[in-house]
Amino acid sequence: MAEGGREVAARTVLQQCLYAKLQVKPPDQDSEAEWAEIHRGLVIYVCFFKGADNAVIPKMVSSLLNVKLSEPDSGKHVSVLDLPGDVLIVPQATLGGRVKGRGMQYHYNAGKEQGMELYSQLVAQCQHVLEDNPKWAEAGAVLRHGTYGNRQVLQLNTNGPYTHLVEF
């Protein structure tokens, strides 16, 4: 439950980074692991809850890309669009967990198909908004994202993670 008793549709944790590397395909017999890399920018961990629908996506995209959570070399914080910085979206179903005794329960998480659909839409709409922004696009910044359902093997290098929780 969010403030005022409203149901939460999605939970995000945000960290700024100087560099991040995320495994997007684990190694197998025939090939090595594949990785997605970003440089200076924003890491977005995301989890969707039961009852979330498409309507939440545009609001999430607008907020995540426009809230001033990134530190430039000097001066006040700016958005990742204005930095302009890279973006790494990491599916993280564990964020929906609640402590129950000594274990965690995930009863409120979106089902796998629904979660994957919402995650895909979030990535696609972020990509669209980022590429539509001339400053961001011309800076050569990139959006990368993890593979839904995979283990998110992650390395992170920060100058201060500046961790925030934002729920929708």
The residues binding a copy of itself (CB under 8 A) are 1, 3-5, 11, 13, 45, 63, 66-69, 77, 79, 90, 92, 94-95, 97, 99, 102-104, 151-166
Task: Provide the minimum distance between the beta carbon of 15 and a copy of itself in the complex, in angstroms, as a whole number.
Answer: 9
CA distance 45 to 47: 7
User: Which CB atom, from 79 or from 140, has the smaller least distance to a copy of itself?
Assistant: 79
Torsion sign, CA atoms 133, 138, 141, 147? positive
User: Which CB atom, from 92 or from 125, has the smaller least distance to a copy of itself?
Assistant: 92
Torsion sign, CA atoms 122, 36, 134, 85? positive
Task: Provide the minimum distance between the beta carbon of 149 and a copy of itself in the complex, in angstroms, as a whole number.
Answer: 12
Angle at 27 between CA 24 and CA 31, to 5 degrees: 110
User: Which CB atom, from 9 or from 13, has the smaller least distance to a copy of itself?
Assistant: 13
Helix (H, G, I), strand (E, B) or coil at 134: helix
